[in-house]
Chains A and B, each alone.
Chain A
Amino acid sequence: MAILEVNDVNKAFGGLKALNAVNLSVEEGTVHAIIGPNGAGKSTLLNCFVGRLIPDTGSVMFNGKSLLGIKPHEINQTGVARVFQTPEIFTDLSILENVMIPAFAKLDGAFRINAWKTVGSRGEVRDMAEKVLVEVGLHEKRDVISSSLSRGDKRRLEMAMCLVQEPKLLLLDEPTAGMSRADTNNTVDLLQRVGTHITKIVIEHDMHVVFSLADHISVLAQGTVIAGGKPADIKGNPKVQEAYLGGSHA
């Protein structure tokens, strides 16, 4: 069953057509990679899923409900979490707090005044957070202030922050961008290991990462999906090779 249905989405910035009649269908429980040259519209598309951008026309349906025109926090509450290209974490807070906060969002909803009980009295939240931290391998450092983490650790922390919410759909925007080979391998390993039941959409440049993770690949070029299919099919597709090697490469 398709968990995310994207139908005929168009988005233009001024005269520039960033997305041109994009259609996409993401099957539940799969890892769906979106690849394409720079400027193909990958990030624009992702932004349309989380409420950062609203498409000019078309529809984005998540579990049968439209995601268009509702606010980022409402989209998250329906079960969509996102990892950013540059990690967005709470740099002033400890790692444990960083992961507890999304857990609170999951348990208490978008707004609740919890001003009298202490954080410590919510043992179940701490347990959730610690469990995920063990999974991603940051448990040892749980009391460290997150601004002092390495880039790779920050990325893992952000992933933990998404995983703790047990989202139905996890969006990953270039999860290995700017990472060393070793860190990249760790990330791939992590993604294969944890949250296996979660549907994931991955935007990625690194073909090694794409082919080790993806069940399905969509190729985006100049705002249009030019090819889609199993990794093996994509590898041999002449259109894809043209898009990457041809004139559109920025």
Chain B
Amino acid sequence: MFAGLTRNDKLLFIGFTIAALAMPLLAWPVGANYPDLLQKFAIYGIFAIGFNILFGLTGYLSFGHAAFLGVGSYAAVWMFKGVTMNVIPAVIFGVMVSGMFAALIGFISLRRSGIYFSILTLAFAQMSYNLAYSVLTPITNGETGLQLSQDDARIIDRLFVEQGAGLPSTNLFGLEMSGYPGFYFCCVLLIIAFFISLRIQRSPFGMMLRAIKTNQVRMNYTGFNTRPYALTAFIISGMYAGLAGSLLAVTDPLAGAERMQWTASGEVVLMTILGGAGTLIGPILGAGLIKYFENIFSSYNDGLLSESFSFLPDFLNDTLVFIIGPFVGEGWSLLLGIVFMAIVIFLPGGLMEGLTRIHGWYRRRGGGDTRAADAASSRQAAE
């Protein structure tokens, strides 16, 4: 499984695995150690890793990736309704359906590149979103969203167990997928997703994708048929989104069209850019930060704010609440927008580039002779 990976990569993967499994502990000091939020970290981490395989490596900026997230959710919920509440078939089905959907959309969209590609993906996502609300209501249940109900078929489940009075819950061979078990299920998939992404980035295939981003013309004159490469990346990335979508359904068996809206597609772009497009860790970092701060900031309001600054004299308290107030609660998106602009303007490589810069600066102060080695190693770390 680890064949061919360098020592650094193995360490990176082991470190990542430990950090992911210990996330409840790590998140404890910042007060994020409750399962609902941890599940979101893992799920959106997967979404961002997948988006990064397309955008970070090939440079194709998709503005419609949420469509695959939504399709994954719908597919998973249908599996719950029709076959079994066990999560394994639902996840597999979600990934497969999104993969096929991505193959279709990618096949058409990838006939163009650059801004045209972005607009094509956006157009497809908006189409799916609009259709989910209107004509496809039998499949999507329109505005209400697709939910479980008492009289679902659930053919396999009915063979084995008597239906209870309430709605059944999602489970992994009997283990209920809420709370920490749910988180650990998502977490294991996150680790697998990360590992696959690591292998892809270190493989010849990943190298070709990066080469496509840098110079597509050269790739063609070098004897590569670039379109199937980009399409494969698109499908893989769509399957990641589908996995994330079906996990959303696993932790909360409900699927709505708003998951496919283009603002949702924008969100995964933000996560990836914030963390650092093209890097291994960056997108996960970005997803975690955005979901964490969304959770913190959107729950605040002026009352809570003034409470937390209550140790200050009144006038200072009021000033602080006045300044910070617009950015919390409903205003969280405002803060996100500002941070995002700042990142694109000053740090297009995202937080990972920031870390690399700080690291390099720190090392340079340490001594000049190790500079060359540093540049190489920090570059590797950034990848």
Contacts and interface: CB of A to CB of B under 8 A. Distances in A.
A touches B (Cβ under 8 A): yes
A118 interface: yes
A4 B3 CA distance: 45
A105 B219 CA distance: 9
A89 B203 contact: no
Interface stretch (A94-102, A130-138, A198-206): A94-102
B204 A119 contact: yes
A111 interface: yes
A88 B221 contact: yes
A89 B219 CA distance: 9
Nearest to A77: B223
A115 interface: yes
A115 B203 contact: yes
Interface of B, helix, strand, loop or mixed by DSSP: helix
Interface stretch (A57-65, A68-76, A183-191, A233-241): A68-76
A56 to B, nearest CB: 23
A176 B221 CA distance: 20
Contacts of B213: 92
Interface string A116-127: 111111100100
Contact of A82 (B5, B215, B221): B221
Given A90-B211, A90-B214, A101-B208, A116 B220 contact: no
B210 interface: yes
A164 B215 CA distance: 18
Contacts of B223: 73, 76-77, 102, 105-106, 109-110, 165
A134 to B, nearest CB: 20
Interface in A153-171: 161, 165
A242 interface: no
Contacts of A122: 204
Contacts of A108: 204
A125 B219 CA distance: 17
Nearest to A162: B222
A contact residues, range: 35 or more
A71 B225 contact: yes
B202 A91 contact: no
A110 B215 contact: no
A95 B111 CA distance: 30
Contact of B202 (A82, A100, A119): A119
A88 B204 contact: no
A110 B225 contact: yes
B206 interface: yes
Contacts of B203: 114-119
B205 interface: yes
A161 B225 contact: no
Contacts of B199: 115-116, 118
B372 to A, nearest CB: 9
B215 A105 contact: no
A119 to B, nearest CB: 5
B376 A111 contact: no
Given A117-B204, A122-B204, A90 B218 contact: yes
Given A115-B199, A115-B203, A73 B211 contact: no
B4 A76 contact: no
Contacts of A109: 223
Contacts of A115: 199-200, 203, 205-206
A1 interface: no
B89 interface: no
A92 B214 contact: yes
Nearest to A88: B218
Given A89-B215, A111-B225, A101 B207 contact: yes
Contacts of B376: 143
A76 B222 contact: yes
B326 interface: no
B4 A117 contact: yes
Contacts of B222: 73, 76, 81, 101-102, 105, 161, 165
Given A71-B225, A102-B223, A88 B3 contact: no
B116 interface: no
Given A76-B222, A92-B213, A118 B202 contact: yes
Contacts of A101: 207-208, 211, 219, 222
B228 to A, nearest CB: 5
Contacts of A106: 223
Given A91-B215, A93-B210, A120 B6 contact: yes
A113 interface: yes
Interface in B182-206: 199-200, 202-206
B34 interface: no
15 contacts: A73-B224, A88-B217, A88-B221, A91-B214, A104-B207, A110-B224, A111-B228, A114-B203, A115-B199, A116-B199, A116-B203, A117-B203, A118-B202, A119-B204, A125-B204
Given A105-B223, A115-B203, A115-B205, 20 more contacts: A73-B220, A73-B222, A76-B220, A82-B221, A88-B217, A90-B218, A92-B210, A97-B207, A102-B223, A108-B204, A113-B205, A115-B206, A117-B203, A117-B204, A118-B4, A118-B202, A118-B203, A119-B203, A120-B6, A122-B204
